[in-house]
Chains A and B, each alone.
Chain A
Amino acid sequence: MQRRRLIGGLAALVLAGCERAQDTAFHALDITGADYAQDFRLQDPDGRTRTLADFRGRAVLVFFGFTQCPDVCPTALARAAEVMQLLGDDARRLQVIFVTVDPERDTPELLRAYTAAFHPSFLGLHADLETTAATAKAFKVFYRKVPTGSSYTMDHTALSYTYDPQGRLRLAVRHESPAAEVAADIARLLAEAPAARS
């Protein structure tokens, strides 16, 4: 009973109704120890260089996409916003990051306005084409331009990577996973953190 309280009321609530995951596995794919997606070096909309180390002490959820995307990207970011809601007070210990694979069209101003439409704390990161390509490769994220009409759209990997508050890569979240599962996984990562720190 006491142990359960330690996990936190919310985590218990989110996990309730999903017996399978109560004590065993994460909902998302556990990629702890994987040797890719270790870090990034990208620009925020203010022009500052950001790396994973900037977010130590918080769980980090990273998604690659582009703002001209009508479907997958807003769905993933809306889910992330819902995760923030579900986490309650713990939400301040989660940083959601949107990395553009379309830096030619996704200007810093556009990225700032776009991420803010979902949650004021969400951060849009960008880089030049070369760094974007290198970062995507390091994260095993595939993307390519697909011409359509007079314009182009992009195919891209729709996974979200999750890091624990120590900055270690932990989970790959599928696009189809519901917000409640993502929130439960992140609550677990956050609940681990105080123990790991002491």
Chain B
Amino acid sequence: MKTRSLTVTLTLTVAAAALLASAAQAQTTVAEPWVRGTVAQQKASGMFAKITSAAGGTLVAASSPVAGVVEIHEMAMEGTLMKMRALPKGLALPAGQTVELKPGGYHVMLMDLKQELKDGQTVPVTLVIEAKDGKRETVEVMAPVRPLGAAGMQQHQHGMMK
């Protein structure tokens, strides 16, 4: 009886520890999200952020109520030619490393926009991160809209203050 209860306790402890570990592993944090504002009739924009996956994984999908289609894109300069592509296998998030989605690199592309994205609004975006074991985690991001005309680079943020 005593042995049995000990076994149960141990099992529970191990299970709880495993649960905690998996929760910690699955933990993906998203910092400084923002979406570039649009003008009426403009049907596409991009979301940028700093994403860190503690255990590593892949950003495989995203969705947003403001957009009909959301894709993970990479922008790259080939000489003077700008190329933009959807990442077919998603965006790799190496364990513990912060991957920055920023102008000139990766972005979450918001297409078929259902509304104009105005300065001061907040855009909800759901990110789907797949762990190495195939388990999927969703992260809800609330991304503030930055004015379309604002420079995207950090050092220019002072110019956006009102």
Residues of A within 8 A of B (CB): 67-72, 74-75, 77-79, 81-82, 85, 105, 107, 109-110, 113-114, 116-119, 142, 146, 148-151, 153-159, 172, 174-176
Contacts and interface: CB of A to CB of B under 8 A. Distances in A.
B104 interface: yes
A71 B84 contact: yes
Given A110-B42, A113-B40, A117-B149, A72 B82 contact: yes
Interface of B: 36-37, 39-46, 68-69, 71, 73, 75, 77, 80-86, 103-104, 107, 109-112, 147-152, 156, 159
Contact of B82 (A78, A150, A156): A156
Q: Nearest 9 CB-CB pairs, A to B?
A: A70-B46, A113-B39, A68-B44, A117-B148, A118-B149, A158-B82, A149-B69, A110-B41, A78-B151
* Chain B residues touching A, majority SS: strand
A134 B36 CA distance: 31
B122 to A, nearest CB: 18
B46 to A, nearest CB: 3
B75 A77 contact: no
B149 A71 contact: no
Contacts of B71: 148-149
Given A150-B69, A175-B77, A157 B148 contact: no
Nearest to A77: B149
A119 B46 contact: no
B151 A157 contact: no
A157 B103 contact: no
A69 B45 CA distance: 7
A70 B107 contact: yes
A121 B110 CA distance: 28
A117 B159 CA distance: 14
A157 B80 contact: yes
Contacts of B152: 74-75, 78
Nearest to A179: B151
A155 B82 contact: yes
B81 A158 contact: yes
Given A149-B69, A150-B69, A107 B41 contact: yes
Contacts of B77: 158, 175-176
A82 B151 contact: yes
24 contacts: A69-B44, A70-B44, A70-B45, A71-B107, A72-B75, A72-B84, A72-B104, A74-B36, A75-B103, A81-B149, A82-B156, A110-B42, A114-B148, A117-B147, A142-B81, A146-B83, A146-B84, A148-B73, A148-B111, A149-B71, A149-B86, A150-B69, A153-B73, A157-B81
Contacts of A70: 36, 44-46, 73, 84, 107, 109-110
A156 B44 contact: no
B21 to A, nearest CB: 37
